[in-house]
């Protein structure tokens, strides 16, 4: 079975995939997302695509005449043309929970980085400054005593909530339905925005959630609140977010995702010292890659043995 892994790899991952392929009787090849020509050359021979983030659309699917399975490394399948895959009777699967630990840790890191003005402190220190501006230093904060609002209550918030409670935060959440086992207080979204010192997003991007935090809802947030987004950039009105951060209406933002990716270097948010950014790496740890690859191998086995696939998101 020919498997195509569509992502950038380093020496460790290259070696890991080689060993994994030999152990599982899979022919695993790699194509970098920046190599469009290489992708088009390899698609016709692929039985399975291991998909990460680079958009995979109808044109790609038509090129892959032997394709039987598109396996997302992660949860969100918004970068895959699922409808076209279904039309071609190609299964699309994802991996709920495979990256929850990594994303939860990244979200926590972004909260702490925002509270401690990490980009500004780093810049000042490496430029030779030691006695930093008192007004700025005196506004460094802690999680203890602050209300953290979690938008969504799936696998990632379930890891975050007890950690935040242990650090002394009050934790509230919103979701489509109240969760009986939640270690947090349920609120409707508008109330959560008005109550929270930090708002952290943990929902998928769908037609329903697109621009979930639009101008009106962003205006509900507390003065000098912090927003954390490790989910999808399209959840937030990015232009409005910039305006509110630039004016000081919001204190800071920790952003691992953007409305357009890769983010353009001219994006105004990148110029703000109150914004901590990463290039959609919240999910990306060695442990996540190992878990994901083993889950993907299991579905390749199921495909080969004509067994039901795990976590298939489409039907045909």
Which residue among the candidates 51, 54, 280, 284 is catalytic per the annotation?
A: 280
230, 275, 283: which is closest to 257 by C-alpha?
Answer: 230
- Please confirm whether the linkage preceding 262 is cis (ω < 30° from 0): yes
Per the annotation, the verdict on 117 as an active-site residue is no
Distance from C-alpha of 98 to C-alpha of 245, rounded to nearest angstrom = 33
| Residues paired with residue 29 on neighbouring β-strands, in sequence order | 4
- Do 54 and 5 touch, CB atoms closer than 8 A? no
Per the annotation, the verdict on 261 as an active-site residue is yes
Per the annotation, the verdict on 170 as an active-site residue is no
Which residue among the candidates 51, 71, 217, 232 is catalytic per the annotation?
A: 232
Burial class of 265 by CB neighbour count within 10 A (0 to 12, 13 to 18, 19+): exposed
Distance from C-alpha of 231 to C-alpha of 99, rounded to nearest angstrom = 12
143, 75, 72, 137: which is closest to 107 by C-alpha?
Answer: 143
Which residue among the candidates 261, 273, 290, 310 is catalytic per the annotation?
A: 261
Burial code (b: 16+ CB inside 10 Å, e: under 16) for 134-145 equals eeeeeeebebee
Query: Which are the catalytic amino acids?
Result: 232, 261, 280
């Amino acid at each position: 079975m020919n498997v195509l892994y569509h992502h950038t790899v380093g020496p460790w991952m290259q070696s890991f995939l080689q060993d994994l392929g030999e152990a599982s009787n899979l022919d695993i090849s790699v194509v970098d997302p920046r190599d469009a020509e290489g992708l088009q050359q390899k698609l016709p021979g692929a039985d399975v695509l291991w998909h990460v983030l680079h958009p995979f659309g109808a044109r790609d699917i038509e090129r892959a005449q032997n394709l039987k399975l598109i396996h997302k490394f992660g949860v969100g399948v918004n970068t895959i043309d699922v409808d076209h895959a279904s039309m071609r009777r190609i299964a699309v699967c994802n991996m709920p929970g495979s990256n929850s630990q990594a994303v939860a840790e990244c979200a926590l890191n972004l909260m702490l980085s925002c509270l401690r003005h990490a980009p500004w402190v780093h810049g000042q220190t490496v430029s030779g400054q030691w006695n930093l501006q008192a007004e700025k230093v005196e506004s460094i904060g802690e999680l203890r005593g602050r209300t953290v609002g979690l938008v969504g209550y799936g696998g990632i918030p379930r890891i975050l909530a007890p950690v935040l409670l242990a650090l002394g935060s009050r934790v509230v959440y919103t979701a489509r339905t109240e969760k009986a086992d939640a270690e947090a207080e349920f609120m409707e979204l508008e109330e959560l925005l008005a109550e929270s010192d930090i708002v952290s997003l943990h929902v998928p991007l769908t037609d329903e959630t697109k621009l979930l935090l639009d101008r009106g809802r962003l205006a509900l947030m507390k003065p000098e609140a912090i927003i954390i987004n490790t989910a999808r950039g399209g959840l937030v009105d990015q232009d409005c977010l910039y305006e509110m951060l630039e004016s000081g209406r919001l204190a800071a933002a920790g952003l691992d995702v953007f409305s357009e990716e890769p983010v353009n270097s001219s994006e105004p948010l990148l110029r703000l010292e109150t914004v901590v950014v990463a290039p959609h790496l919240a999910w990306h740890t060695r442990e996540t890659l190992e878990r994901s690859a083993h889950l993907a191998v299991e579905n390749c086995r199921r495909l080969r043995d004509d067994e039901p696939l795990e976590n298939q998101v489409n039907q045909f």
